[in-house]
Amino acid sequence: MALVTTSAFAQTEHLELLQSKFWSGGFDVYSNGWKANFKHGNVFHSTSRHYYEIEIASVHHPKEYRQTQDFGWTVPGIPPPKPFVFGKQNSFMNFNLSYGIYKQLGEKAQKSGVSIGFNSSVGLSLGITKPYYLWLLFPLDDTTSVLRMVKYSEENKNIFLDNFSIYGGGGFKEGITELKFIPGAHLKAALDFDWASYNEYIKSIEIGVSLDAYYKKIPIMILENNIQFFPALYCGFVFGKKW
């Protein structure tokens, strides 16, 4: 029995040594939004990985609150109001490119067990703002109003910030040609719980912290204090393969 176990272990070790590269993809839920990611890199003796990571994220201001207007009436030919965020000036996303290292902690897990590792990465972040559009009710006279989709400006500030004049939120495609870019940096650290670490597949849960920092404040909200540092907690699901 001892000889069989040793032989099986040696074969698995040999397989791990042959697995010199890996890829993985995942989805993370953040305390201030969500992220999708893709990693590709090298495996060193199954206990260490060096990789490059690409992430795309939607980031929310701490004071964002979605609401829906209920007028109690509908107009034929006009769709019902969409949810919106009061006082929002821009939607914010970011694109991160990072270099990271994974280290397995402690002894190697058994084939049916779970290994615990530590992930850390650092890199560049490109913040992307897109004007936030609302459907607003512009009065023509005392009894008639017209619906117009507009973004925030100093000229329409009073009506844009009048909750009774807001019909609903605009579509995602609105403002897509008006993007602005803000460069910054990105840091991330996490514990990785991998229940497939002893074979060619990667199936794990990550729990960690991250920080996105930019050279200036990001103009997301109109009335609230905007920030340039975005710390967050997150939990993510990762799947991939070594070869």
Q: For the segment 117-165, what is each residue's pLDDT rounded down to a tens digit?
A: 999 999 999 999 999 999 998 988 877 888 899 999 999 999 999 998 9
Contacts of 139 (CB under 8 A, 6+ apart): 145
Report the pLDDT value the prediction gives residue 198, as an integer from 0 to 100: 62
Q: What is the pLDDT of residues 174-201, one digit of tens each?
A: 999 999 999 999 999 999 998 865 678 8
- pTM metric for this prediction: 0.85
Q: What is the pLDDT of residues 18-48, one digit of tens each?
A: 558 899 999 999 999 999 999 999 988 768 8
Domain spanning 15-242: CATH 2.40.160.20: yes
Give the pLDDT band of residue 111 (cuts 50, 70, 90): low
Do residues 74 and 80 touch, judged by C-beta distance below 8 A?
yes
Determine the average pLDDT of the residues in 64-91.
85
* Phi and psi torsions of 189, nearest 5°: -145, 140
Distances (CA, A) of 215 to 85, 168, 181: 25, 33, 11
Report the pLDDT value the prediction gives residue 73, as an integer from 0 to 100: 66
